[in-house]
A and B are shown apart, each in its own frame.
Chain A
Amino acid sequence: MSVETPSSSVPSGVPIDDPVDREWESGLEPAAVRRDREAAEAKAAGTPAPRRPKGTRSRAVATLAAAWRQLTSMRTALLLLLLLAVAAVPGSIFPQRPVNPLRVDQYLQQHPSIGPFLDRLHAFNVFTAPWFSAIYVLLMVSLVGCVVPRLRMHIRTLLAPPPKAPAHPARLPVGTSWTTDLPPDQAVAEARAVLRKARFRAVLGDPANGTTVAAEKGLLRETGNLLFHFSLIAVLVGIAIGSLFGYSGSVLVPEGRTFTNTLVAYDAFTPGARVDQARLQPFSFTLDDFSARYRASGEPADFVAALHYRTGFDGPEHTGVLKVNKPLTFGQTKVYLTGHGYAPHFVLRDRTGRVVFDDYVPCTPRGGTEPVRSSCTVKIPDAGLAPKGQLKVPQQLAFRASLIADPVGGTPELKGPQLQLSSFVGDLHLDEGTPQNVYSLDPSGLDPIRTTGAGGSNQLIQTVNVGPGPDGTVSALPDGLTLSVDGIRDWSVFAVKHDPGKSLVLIAAVLLLIGLVLTLTIRRRRIWVRAVAVPGSSGGAGGAEGAGTVGAAPSRTLLEVGGVARVGDISAEFDELAARLRHRLPESPAPSTAERETRVEAL
């Protein structure tokens, strides 16, 4: 899409009737750009835009063709680009469902009147909204419609020789001329050698056009431009593959537990539209040890998860370390460390000391991501208590606790962790078929219990100092049950991401960047050399018009060298090249004044 029509600075120095300029215009300009230019020129001149000759095509085809031309025109592309930018703005103003569903719910609660309306306009999932998709799909179609013909044309340009020399190269925006003693044939051969050495694509021109060299450099500009645009398409293809065949999930794993990559093992799972959920990539890992270090300020310093893992169902076992910025890779699936917290060890014993319940229960950090304080919920449906009353209401136990990692320092690090524990007995409503959140407690049907422990006897909220000692035990529960919290482990949340389009996106992004740099740094320029035999001092006026037309043996050659660039200024480069050419084809001693005037007239 970004082909430069001649910038105002350079070709303005060339009169419009210059054949080179014309050729340059038509030969390099993609159809879409030309149409835009012609339309603009026509508008400026107050005449209707030039139309293509009407053929035998039906009206419908013509309309379609016109629509296609309109869509692939640069103006449309520009408008779509602007529209895309504007359309993305609400995505940063309103909370987005895929990013943070909780905040969307909050927003809907806080704005009951306008919220649902905005929701209907897809304000909370802007980037998957039909109107957003429509813009970028149109833009992509416009892009393809623009770059495919350009690719064809560029290949043609690459295969064709540089365009033939104009009649008077010295009249180009940068140009010079001098006479040399070498005959024209030899002079152009030398000139071609010089230009080739300067890495120009230089060829000897068609003899019908005189003795000339046509040279061109910087075709990589258009190559880069096309590379950029095709890479952009490839990036989008990669994104599409990722969203169709990729999945992501998250799982909380306490130390010592194993995770196996199957659908049921996940706490949350978001599959792409074309994911075979029964055949996720097989791997498993066990969290051996998790350690979190904090600074005195409470800011996290380092998280490290040590684990051992297995690829496939029965592959060899490896040990590995996972850090915040260092995921673990299983083929195209990556496992990330995204959160952590603590899981105290709750043990419920009956009056005989028999263990009734024994588990590490993860507590969720409260108010922020760091587990300074966390909420724990323990539900023990089968504590061995007899049902109560005629209705046989089950007598189940439940505990709710606030875990403080560092009661003295207030840091998220474990330093004498403490629980503020409330105990309940009653019906947990677990058998009623309604799904429950394991992290919350339904208080209806539950009676609080006053307990005895480190915080004293008959307490509704009991203090428990985590540890194997008596301070870690709570008694006075029904039927002589005791609950001890004798230890604590870390847990970690792992995010599992599978994105098969990722490598394509990366490669395409790198190519895109290369293409961009090429297209913005390289200038396309052309240089022509024309050698014309001039008669010796006896030659008459007009003798220089054509090579070899004068009967007298030419004793000198007039060299005309000139160049153009589409964008920017090539005078510095041209001057250097001209100097090299002069060095190789030395200038003849200064001719007489009369001769000089003759030559000027000839030019």
Chain B
Amino acid sequence: MSKLSDHLFLVTILVYAVAMVAFAADLAFRRQVVPIFRSGDVIRRTPQATRVDERELVGAGVSTGPGGRSSSLPVDPPRSSAASAGSSGAGGPGEGDDAGGHFTWLARAAVGLTALGWLIHLATIVTRGIAARRVPWGNMFEFSTVAAFICVTAFLVLLAKQRARWLGTFVLLPVVLYLGLAGTVLYKSAGPLVPALNSYWLKIHVLAAITASGLFFVSGIVALLYLAKSYRPDGPMLSRLPAAEKLDRITYGIVALSFPIWTFAVIAGAIWAEAAWGRYWGWDPKETWSFITWVIYAGYLHARSTAGWRGRRAAWFAVAAFAALIVNYYVVNIWIVGLHSYAGVG
């Protein structure tokens, strides 16, 4: 079973890698921007257009068009037409494509491969759990595998809800690298755990930490894309991304979901630490960096709602928090001695 899991792991990486290339090609060869609007206009849309566009995004195209005032349409216009009229003019690249239904065979293949990879990924985790006869998140290798799984899951959800095909390459590339790193440097064969790690709360704590990390990972990528887009909206590839505000909203949406999970992970960890070591908080390096990550994400949430800090500055917070998360994960686990030295590496 352990062997099977390892094989599935390799297949997962391969499928993701191919899907990543397909997404990249899809992004590169995507039909060019609707001629009326240059891509640079995307972020300077009129409020009305933005609003219509938003509605398109959440899939609630049938609602009152805002045109009631701006364009002397009847009070009660045939609403869907108003909405679609707005979006066909204002829809940025990427969004407009999807709305128009230009789902190329390349895009289909990319999405299909990702879904396939996701299923194999799931099988990898399940077989690993069966082989080790415990929850499959006991060491750093398994942690990475599950965190990458959460990443891809989050991406698939965004794909379904936000039509975020443009995100494919940017999520799958780090996921493939991350899994590759996990499979080579961090690999440890399936086995039982030391007694200190064998606890109910710990399983919950680690699962919550993995889930939050996976989600933060995606939000970090989107935040970086936001920054790139906001500095150079016309840059190569960047012009094919959705509007900066949309990227900002997605970043916020993911952080708003994962921040409570992270908070819960920290609390669960404290409860477990209290049971195992007799203190709920001891400024162990891992705890310190969890705290740092938490504080910066709290800063992000506050910055995003503070005048003068919204936008780029807030996004830098999200990126800094993401960096703290990475430090917490790699640097602390591998190079700093602490009570969390469970990684089984080095």
Chain A residues engaging chain B, CB cutoff 8 angstroms: 1-5, 7-10, 12-13, 33, 36-37, 39-41, 43, 74-75, 77-78, 81-82, 84-85, 88-89, 91-93, 96, 98-99, 126-127, 170-171, 173-178, 239, 248, 295, 299-303, 323-327, 334, 336, 338, 495, 497, 499, 502, 505-506, 509-510, 512-513, 516-517, 520-521, 569, 571-572, 574-575, 578, 596, 599-600, 603
Verify if B291 is at the interface (C-beta below 8 Å from A): yes
Asked if residues A574 and B63 are in contact (CB atoms below 8 Å), the reply is: yes
What are 23 A-B pairs with beta-carbon distances under 8 A? A2-B302, A5-B306, A13-B48, A13-B50, A78-B306, A81-B295, A85-B324, A88-B288, A99-B284, A127-B283, A176-B64, A176-B76, A178-B75, A301-B195, A325-B198, A327-B278, A336-B276, A512-B263, A516-B259, A516-B263, A571-B60, A575-B64, A578-B64
Q: Which of A3, A84, A89, A93 contacts B305 (CB 8 A)?
A: A3
Chain B residues engaging chain A, CB cutoff 8 angstroms: 47-48, 50-51, 54-55, 58, 60, 62-64, 66, 68-69, 72, 74-76, 192, 194-196, 198-199, 245, 249, 256-257, 259-260, 263-264, 267, 270-272, 274-285, 288-289, 291-292, 295-296, 298-299, 301-310, 324, 332, 336
Asked if residues A85 and B263 are in contact (CB atoms below 8 Å), the reply is: no
**A-B contact sample (6 more), CB < 8 A, given A171-B69, A338-B277, A516-B260:** A5-B306, A33-B305, A178-B75, A336-B276, A596-B75, A603-B75
Asked if residues A324 and B195 are in contact (CB atoms below 8 Å), the reply is: yes
Measured CA separation A239–B281 after assembly (Å): 10
- Output the residue of B270, B280, B305, B336 with the most chain A CB within 10 A: B305
Asked if residues B274 and A502 are in contact (CB atoms below 8 Å), the reply is: yes
Measured CA separation A592–B283 after assembly (Å): 75
Chain A min CB distance to B16 (Å): 30
Asked if residues B308 and A5 are in contact (CB atoms below 8 Å), the reply is: no
Please judge, given known A-B contacts A8-B310, A12-B47, A502-B274, whether A91 and B288 are in contact too, CB under 8 Å.
yes
10 closest Cβ pairs, A-B complex? A40-B308, A40-B307, A37-B307, A4-B305, A92-B285, A497-B278, A92-B288, A12-B47, A81-B299, A85-B295
Asked if residues B291 and A88 are in contact (CB atoms below 8 Å), the reply is: yes
Measured CA separation A355–B100 after assembly (Å): 98
Asked if residues A36 and B308 are in contact (CB atoms below 8 Å), the reply is: yes
Chain B min CB distance to A329 (Å): 11
Asked if residues A175 and B76 are in contact (CB atoms below 8 Å), the reply is: no
Asked if residues A75 and B309 are in contact (CB atoms below 8 Å), the reply is: yes
Asked if residues B279 and A497 are in contact (CB atoms below 8 Å), the reply is: yes
Asked if residues A248 and B68 are in contact (CB atoms below 8 Å), the reply is: no
Measured CA separation A84–B296 after assembly (Å): 9
Asked if residues B275 and A327 are in contact (CB atoms below 8 Å), the reply is: yes
Asked if residues A92 and B332 are in contact (CB atoms below 8 Å), the reply is: yes
Measured CA separation A603–B69 after assembly (Å): 9
Q: What residues of A have a CB within 8 angstroms of the CB of B288 in the complex?
A: 88-89, 91-92
Asked if residues A85 and B292 are in contact (CB atoms below 8 Å), the reply is: yes
Asked if residues B199 and A571 are in contact (CB atoms below 8 Å), the reply is: no
Q: What residues of A have a CB within 8 angstroms of the CB of B68 in the complex?
A: 170-171, 175, 603
Asked if residues A513 and B306 are in contact (CB atoms below 8 Å), the reply is: no
Residue of B nearest to A11 (CB): B47
Measured CA separation A572–B336 after assembly (Å): 49
Chain B min CB distance to A131 (Å): 15
Residue of B nearest to A301 (CB): B195
Q: What residues of B have a CB within 8 angstroms of the CB of A8 in the complex?
A: 245, 310
Asked if residues B74 and A600 are in contact (CB atoms below 8 Å), the reply is: yes
- Output the residue of A41, A81, A303 with the most chain B CB within 10 A: A81
Asked if residues B289 and A92 are in contact (CB atoms below 8 Å), the reply is: yes
Chain B min CB distance to A276 (Å): 21
Please judge, given known A-B contacts A513-B260, A574-B63, whether A33 and B299 are in contact too, CB under 8 Å.
no
Measured CA separation A117–B325 after assembly (Å): 30
Q: What residues of A have a CB within 8 angstroms of the CB of B298 in the complex?
A: 81
Q: What residues of A have a CB within 8 angstroms of the CB of B299 in the complex?
A: 78, 81-82, 85
Measured CA separation A513–B76 after assembly (Å): 44
Residue of B nearest to A90 (CB): B288
